[in-house]
Amino acid sequence: MSAVREDIAPSGAGWRKFAALLLGVAAVGLPVNGVADYALLVLLAVVIFSGEVRSDGRAWLAALAIVAVAIAGQVWLAPPRIDEGHNVFLPSPALERGLPADVYRHLTQEFDALYPPAQRCDPKAFGCWRNNGLPDAAFAFSADGVWHKAAMSRAASTLDFSDPVWLRLGFINEARYNWTAETDVKRAERDRRFWMGLQRWHLTMPWFEAIRLPAAYVGGELCWRGDVMWEGTAEYFALWRGDGCRTLEPADAGRRVFGIAIKPDTLAMRLTPPWPVWWLQLAGGALLLAAAFGLVVSLMRLEARRTMLPFVLIGLAVAVIAIDDGSFLGGVRPFDGGDDGLFYDGVGRVILQKLLAGDIWGALEGGEKVFYYGGPGLRYFRALEHIVFGESYLGYLSLVLLMPFLVHRLFRRFLPEPWPLALVLLFVAVPLGMLFGTSFAHYVKWAARGFADPAAYILFIAGLVTVIGADKAGPSGKFFPALFGALLLALGIAMKPIVAPAAAVLLAGCGLVALFGRQWPRLIGLCIGTLPVFSMALHNWVFGHVFVLFSSNAGHADLLVMPPSAYLTALRQLFSLDFGGLARIIHQLADWLSGPAESYATIPLNAAGVAILVYVVLRGRPFDPWLRLVGAAALAQHAVALFYNAAIARYHFLTWFLTLLVAMVFMREIGIGWLQRRYPGASERIANLRLSRQLASALARLQKVSA
């Protein structure tokens, strides 16, 4: 047995790692909304959670001193911020009152020329921009202004954009701009070519950008593409058309420049600072890197090889995200009108603004007196995400990047190496899961669209790993692992109540084991961690004065397409030789077994997976009892697909993922041996293929260096 260093004790290691990461966040500062700052924190997270954190008090005092110096240095070296404002442009009284007369007049002329009044949508038409709401202030609210107050929308440290998606214009996803009509003014266009991931979205909403030039930037240069209006004396704004650059003079200090973006993809701006400001920015960045390095040196004992697998998984995950929708990596894409993503972010922004205004009660209401629209959790998550990550979706991205590690940990719980490593690499990088069991790309797609389903499933998997234990010894009888595991499952239900059956089976099984084992701290932790589930019913009772357990759309005909009464009706119809009800049942079963591929061609494969699941749960005594409990939870979710809309594959991603887990354990324990006995020649030929040997060798090397 290897010796354990006195200053690196295993007790409380998780808390120390979390505290070390918080120190890194403090050094970077809030909001964490820049790609470089976020990448640095991801790097720190990998290093911290791959190594051992010292428990020595002197090391922590040194780390605190480093962070304090970094914070003080950042404040001292910070150059003056650029007051920046932006908003959608729709002719409205609020914009007419708040914008300079010359600017508003020009914006209106450009708008009328591109969208003639005679061709505008009918205000009575559903989804028309003319009946959904107009701007209520000259400059839109920006979550970046939570920590850095500004007279307009936000106080920015730099200005350099050619694509508004990467300028992070949060107002484009306000609930009032939920336009769905196929008419003149549209929200966005999607480029579906697979190689255009980093430029997938083109904002087509009319908007404008305004900056107030700081005196410290005199001597710098403002360059632009498109039309800008530059403030002169007496609030007169001169129009500069086309591409150009201009050196800032002392008379420009404090004056405003408006960029005009009525026509899509026409505006770009870059403010180049003078040398004194540039040196301050460079020194601030260098100080931050030095602080991060100092934290690692003072707190960590690190073996570099242990970071290899995390970096491989993150690199593969980022590549998949970049191909699907690169804006998820730090931009703000315009969500589709009528989509869940626009609703959740729009309500989340309202919650945040009420919270900042001191209206705690209004923030808790969450935009609805009785939750109707899906799971209520994501709207509150969005509000918190904007506090920490500003105008970005990096909070949700963090959950998605965490998923491969949770999947790997869950596979390791039931399978020996190299199975977990091979399966997680297949899950992330190879889209075989599109046919059976789901693939990482499934979760990326819907998370980037702002739907709650991936968040619910990721939280569920995190809770599952925690409550059943991370190794074959099973869960401990301690209070906190049970508390956090049950809490994660409860949060998953809040994100998407459709996972409630699986969570109920899992928690009931864990509770019974704890009860019979007299593990009272664990049982209490499970009970307390589950309590937040009932907050949804409490919300509906307090604000809406009705009892609704989760959300009121649970019985909607578009979701509950086959209630139990439909099966009884079909049975009665058979006695009169009416096969209409039977046809409905067959169609529902076919949609269910089409699985994540949403193809009837995969029905045999998915049916085999369900058969394996039933066998392991009912007859699989040789298998790990906790695997059988996971299988029972998966069966509970399969039962949901018999009643709810099975044609919407994203509702059932968790179901098929858990089925995959059980099926892979079955194949390793029984299936492969049976195939080798039944087809010895074919099995030997496959094993001796050059590609098979190369893959096995590569997995062995990766496993060896990252163990």
Delimit the domains of the chain by residue range: 13-79+279-300, 82-272, 314-554, 559-706
**41-52 pLDDT, tens digit each:** 999 999 999 989
Task: Answer yes or no: is pLDDT of 82 > 60.
Answer: yes
pLDDT (average), residues 126-143: 90
At residue 468, what is the residue type?
I
Residues 6+ apart with CB under 8 A from 412: 420, 470, 471
The 3-state DSSP class for residue 356 equals helix
* The predicted structure's pLDDT at residue 9: 41
* The predicted structure's pLDDT at residue 575: 79
User: Whole-number mean pLDDT of the chain?
Assistant: 91
Task: Answer yes or no: is pLDDT of 7 > 60.
Answer: no
The residue whose two tokens read 């994540």 is 596
- 560 by Cβ neighbours in 10 Å (0-12 / 13-18 / 19+) ranks as middle
> Model's pTM, two decimal places?
0.94
**180-215 pLDDT, tens digit each:** 877 788 999 998 888 888 889 999 999 999 999 999
Which of these ranges, 80-89, 431-440, 448-457, has the smallest mean pLDDT? 431-440
- Confidence label for 125 from pLDDT (cuts 50, 70 and 90): confident
Task: Answer yes or no: is pLDDT of 380 > 90.
Answer: yes
- 101 by Cβ neighbours in 10 Å (0-12 / 13-18 / 19+) ranks as exposed
How far apart, in Å, do the first and last CA atoms of the chain sit?
17
* The predicted structure's pLDDT at residue 707: 64
Q: What's the rounded Cα separation, in Å, for the pair 435 and 375?
A: 27
- Confidence label for 11 from pLDDT (cuts 50, 70 and 90): low
User: How far does Cα 356 stand from its chain's mean position?
Assistant: 23
Rounded alpha-carbon distances, angstroms, from residue 397 to 20, 203, 321, 384, 454: 21, 21, 9, 14, 11
Q: What's the rounded Cα separation, in Å, for the pair 178 and 267?
A: 24
The 3-state DSSP class for residue 222 equals strand
* The predicted structure's pLDDT at residue 2: 36
**294-333 pLDDT, tens digit each:** 999 999 988 888 899 999 999 999 999 999 999 999 999 9
**537-568 pLDDT, tens digit each:** 999 999 999 999 998 888 888 888 898 888 88
* The predicted structure's pLDDT at residue 691: 65
